[in-house]
Amino acid sequence: MSLLKLHDLYFKPYIHKDEISAIVKRLATEVKADLPKGETPLFIGILNGCFLFVADFVRAFKGECEISFVKLASYEGTSSTETVKELVGINEDLTGRTVIILEDIIDTGNTLQEIYTIFKDKNLKQLKIVTLFFKPEVYRKELPIDYIGKNIEDKFIVGYGLDYNSLGRNSSAIHQLTPTPKMKNIVLFGPPGAGKGTQAEFLKEMYHLVHISTGDVFRYNIKNQTELGLLAKKYMDEGDLVPDEVTINMLKAEVDKNTDANGFIFDGFPRTQSQAEALDAFLAEKGEQINGMVALEVTEDILITRLLERGKTSGRADDTDEAKIRNRFNEYNTKTAILKEYFDAQDKYYGINGIGSIEDITKRISEVFNTL
Ligand code: IMP
Ligand code: MG
């Protein structure tokens, strides 16, 4: 789950879709259990926000029922307006019926009051109210609410049908309003030898960012025989890849060490889609996000020349042998390049020509950085 931007505002993950699903099932079961045998309820959803809730609720409801919708808008922007508009959509005779209102969220209770008023003179057998979410701190009415899915704090939420100025309804999880992110977080991307490390050194000074190179962190931890280093080495000695979980935890620890950072340059991470998802989720919890993936694009022939050159002085065993280098490219092309699609799908991929002088490339990158 990542940060959501709708219009001018940011929303962070708040309630996972699995939790919503469990709540909806529980509500459907409770409502069914309280109904007299043989009673066919009429479920009325209050549009627009309820459409996903109703769709899931009625499928979880085991028994005969009728379903209808009414429209009654009451919100503008992120604060409840006092004026509740009129109800559209109920034409049938409701005399003697058990009507169960399905609401996505009850906030001040203005809408609920309107519902009670409208149904008062319809000669119902009974009227019950089900709401998926309820904000107890702002509720200002005495009116009964028969079933509450989840009490939430008084913060604006979106997703699962709920909107902010018409956007966000199609998110399957609930997100909560959060301040505009403060950090600039960049994933520096590119095949081995593309110049990521070199460029990161310049960029971290220019933008006051913390540079985290997972390769360097691994090598440091192994050299200093830290707990993490020993764990990582155990896998490496067996010829296994260090599992994502170990890498992710190491990275989280590095981020948490730098609480007052302006942002981070991630270099060598994420390497797989699941690492990218974990990084997104980790930052989103903090109300932060990846601003962009900046990728240095260099042809393989140039890279091999560069790496062999570096191998003469770097002391890195993986830089001296062309076969090993080719193997790393293969690894990069088959696994890591998938990340290009991942960030591209979020409109966050920026490809940069990585051939030229160091200064020219820094300049190209900083033109992108300035827009992020
Ligand atoms: P109330 O009349 O103040 O109880 O507000 C009820 C209506 O306001 C709901 O049906 C929603 O349409 C909208 N609303 C209240 N709180 C939120 C929120 O946090 N996110 C999105 N819509 C909300
Ligand atoms: Mg509503």
Work out the pLDDT band at 203, boundaries 50, 70, 90: very high
For residue 42, the cross-strand partners are 66, 99
Q: What is the per-residue pLDDT for 242?
A: 81
Computed from CA positions of residues 13, 19, 20, 21, in that sequence, does the dihedral angle turn out positive or negative?
positive
How many angstroms is it from 75 CA to the middle of ligand 1? 6
Eight-state DSSP code of residue 345: T
> Is pLDDT at 214 greater than 70 in this prediction?
yes
Chain segment 240-284, per-residue pLDDT in tens? 778 888 888 888 989 999 988 999 999 988 988 889 999 999 999
pLDDT, greater one: 206 or 88: 206
pLDDT beyond 80 at 86: no
125: CA distance to ligand 1 center in Å? 27
| Domains parsed from the chain with CATH numbers | 4-178 (3.40.50.2020), 186-369 (3.40.50.300)
Q: How confident is the model at residue 226 (pLDDT cuts 50, 70, 90)?
A: confident
Q: Which band of pLDDT confidence, cut at 50, 70 and 90, is reported for residue 80?
A: low
- Residue range 69-96: average pLDDT? 70
> How confident is the model over 160-188, as a mean pLDDT?
97
Which of 73-77, 189-193, 207-211, 218-222 ranks highest by mean pLDDT? Answer: 207-211
Beta-bridge partners for 211:
265
pLDDT attached to residue 163: 97
What average pLDDT does the structure give for the chain? 91
Does the pLDDT value for residue 84 go beyond 60? Answer: no
Which residue among 69, 80, 118, 150 is best mutated to probe the pocket of ligand 1, counting the most ligand atoms within 8 A of its Cβ? 80
pLDDT in tens, 90-125: 778 899 999 999 999 999 999 899 899 889 889 999
pLDDT band of residue 218 (cuts 50, 70, 90) is confident
Q: Closest Cα to residue 332, out of 356, 300, 358?
A: 300
pLDDT in tens, 318-340: 777 788 888 888 888 887 778 99
Tell me the mean pLDDT in the region 218-239. 85
Report the separation in Å between the CA atom of 138 and the middle of ligand 1, taken as the mean of its atom positions: 11
pLDDT at residue 307, as a whole number: 85
Can you give the pLDDT at residue 237? 80
Question: pLDDT band for position 342 (50/70/90)?
Answer: very high
What is the model's pTM? Answer: 0.85
Q: Give the pLDDT band (50/70/90) at residue 370.
A: very high
Confidence of residue 76 (pLDDT cuts 50, 70, 90): low
pLDDT of residue 246: 87
Q: Which two tokens stand for residue 252?
A: 């989280």
For the CA atoms of 270, 272, 273, 279, the dihedral, rounded to the nearest 10 degrees, stands at -30
Q: Ligand 2 mean position to 285 CA, how many Å?
A: 27
Residues assigned a catalytic role: 196, 271, 310, 316, 328
Strand, helix or coil for residue 306: helix
- Name the residue with the closest Cα to ligand 1, atom 5: 107
Residue with tokens 């018409």: 166
pLDDT at residue 12 greater than cutoff 60: yes
Q: Closest Cα to residue 201, out of 27, 359, 3?
A: 359
User: If pLDDT is split at 50, 70 and 90, which confidence band does 352 have?
Assistant: very high
Q: Output Rg (C-alpha) for the chain, integer angstroms.
A: 27
- Which residue, judged by its Cα, is nearest atom 8 of ligand 1? 75
**Strand pairing class (264-267; 75-76):** unpaired
Does residue 25 carry a pLDDT above 90? yes
Give the confidence band of 82 by pLDDT, cuts at 50, 70, 90: low
What residue ranges line ligand 1, CB within 6 angstroms? 49, 74-75, 80, 104-112, 156-158, 162
The percent helix, strand, coil of the chain (3-state, each to 5) is 40, 25, 35
pLDDT (average), residues 163-184: 97
Q: State the Cα–Cα distance between residues 71 and 89, nearest whole angstrom.
A: 7
Which pLDDT score is estimated for 41? 98
pLDDT digits (tens, 9 = 90+) for 29-58: 999 999 999 999 999 999 999 999 999 999
